[in-house]
Amino acid sequence: MPSDNNPLSRFKDREHAADLLTSKLKNELKNEIPKEITVFGVPRGGVILAYTIYQNKVANYFDIVIPRKLGAPNNKELGIGAIMDKDTVYLNEYVVKALRVPEDYIETEKITQVREIDRRTLLYRPNQEEYNIENKTIILVDDGAATGSTLVVSARWIRKKKPKKIIIAVPVAPNETVELLKNEVDEVVTILIPPTSNFTSVAQFYDNFEEISDEKVVKIMNTVNQ
């Protein structure tokens, strides 16, 4: 568990985590110019961090990507993988086999989550603008990663659109997840990497981990697009 006596063992809130990530990202990207960088947030919590990083002048472009976790039978909080669209799916084969998840369940869950992706896309990106990815350095941001499934599937989807480079930036992720993510992208930037055995949830590393509403995400998107 994180120690409350160490100010760097947890974050005050998402903005605080984003400011710490900004410092590391600026060092990593010191030889690149902001107009060649796009920062993407993963709704909902990751949008707050990505927008803060964007406001901190790391990138000239801000947008969101909308992956969805594929939940396990009888326990939707337990992820068996993630999906971006019908052609971009990541399955944690170890979990799928361990739980003996039927193929027909997986197919039904994919359909359910694609519908939610479509709903959020219409809400968050109603004008369906082209993504600014090709030949850009992409910073993919979330407020933390437990299994890393949604970041893996997002990175694979982004890779298809021919970016120059992909960086995943998360304030906290367990060591096994960081290693998984390193296999998918060019760089992984983190603040805290606790042992997997000490990691219960992303929320445990924040003093304030309030739920982010659709309205908050829409407000940010409208602000950026003004």
Contact 73, 93 (CB under 8 A): no
φ, ψ for residue 68, nearest 5 deg: -140, 140
The number of residues in the chain equals 226
**Region label for 76, one of left (φ > 0), alpha (ψ between -120 and 50) or beta (otherwise):** alpha
Q: Which of 201, 204, 78 is nearest to 149 (CA)?
A: 78
* Domains by residue range for the chain, with CATH: 14-67+132-224 (3.40.50.2020), 69-123 (3.30.1310)
Q: Which of 74, 56, 70 is nearest to 18 (CA)?
A: 56
SS (H, E, C) 153-165: HHHHHHHCCCCCE
pLDDT in tens, 9-34: 899 999 999 999 999 999 999 989 99
pLDDT in tens, 121-163: 999 999 888 999 999 999 999 999 999 999 999 999 999 999 9
Report the DSSP beta bridge partners of residue 168. 140, 188
The pTM of this model reads 0.93
